[in-house]
Structure 1
Amino acid sequence: MADNSAIQLEKLEADQKKAAAVLAEANAKLASFRKENRGPKLAEMKKDIENYGFAAVELFGEAALAPAKPTVKAKAGKRLPSVVKYKDDDGNTWGGGKGPRPAWVKAIQEANGDIEKYRVAP
C-alpha cells in the first residue's frame, strides 16, 4: 500500500493557497467598500446624532469623559529645566518640589529659620 500522506499534504497546501487568495481578495474588497462609504456614512451618523440629541457619553460610555492626553510629550531622557524657588548665599538652589529637601534647607529649618527669606523673586 502506497503512502498517500505526501499527496494529501500537497492537496491541503494547494487548498490553503486558494483560500488565502480568496481571503486577501475579500479583505481588499471590504477595505475598498469601507473607504468609499466612509464619508457618506459619517454624515448620516452625524445627522442622526444631532436629530436625536445623543451625548458623547451615551455613544462612547465613560471613555468619552476621560481627560485628553497631552499632545506634546517630552522626549525620553530629556527633562524640562527645573525652576529655582529658593537660593542661599552659597549658591545652593532648590525648586521646592517633591522629594527630599536638600541639606542646606533642612539645616535652616532645624535652626528654626525662615526658608521664605531665601525665596528667589520671579
Structure 2
Amino acid sequence: MAQTYAQIQKQIAALQQKADAIRMKEVGGVIDRIKVAIAHYELTPEQLFGGKASATKPVSKATASKRTAKKSGRVSYSDGNGRTWGGWGKRPTWLREALAAGKRLEDFQVGAQAVSIAKEAAKKPARKTAQKRRPSTVLYSDGAGKSWTGRGPQPRWLKEAIAGGKSLEDLRASR
C-alpha cells in the first residue's frame, strides 16, 4: 500500500526530531572535548577567534592552576575569576590563601557535584580534626610574603632574585 504525502511528512517530522536530539547529545560531547583541548593548550579567545595576541605568552598563575583541572576535563573548584582546580594534587595558592582567610572549601565547589557533596557532608558526623603540624621555619624571604624553608627545590622567585644579583645571605629571613 502506497503512503500518502501527509504520512511521509509526519515521518519526516519525527525523524527530524530524533536527528535534533542526537545532534544535541553529540554537540555536548564535542564541546566537552573542545574545552579540554583549550585548557590543555591554554588557548586564549584571541588565538581562537583572531586578534592581536601572540601565539606564545608567559604562563600566568591562573592558567597554571587550570593544569590540574585538565586531567579530567572537569572543574571541581573555582573562585569565579577564572582560576580553577580539578581537586587532584596540591591545592593551588589562590585556594590555600582563601582557606587561610577563613573561607570554606565548599564555597568554591562548582555545579551539581557541589550540591551532592554538600548533602553528603550534612549527613555524615563531623570527623575529628588531625593535630596540626608545627609550621616550617622560614630561612629565606623576599620581604613581600614569599618564603622558602631551604627544603626542596628553590622556588622561582628565589631563582629570579639570585639571577638579579642578590645572594642567599641577602634573602636570609631574620629570626
What is the TM-score of this pair, normalised by structure 2? 0.24
Identify the structure with the greater helix proportion. Answer: 1
Greater relative CO, 1 or 2 (CA 8 Å, sep 6+) = 1
Q: Rg bigger for which structure?
A: 1
Alignment TM-score, normalising by the size of structure 1: 0.32
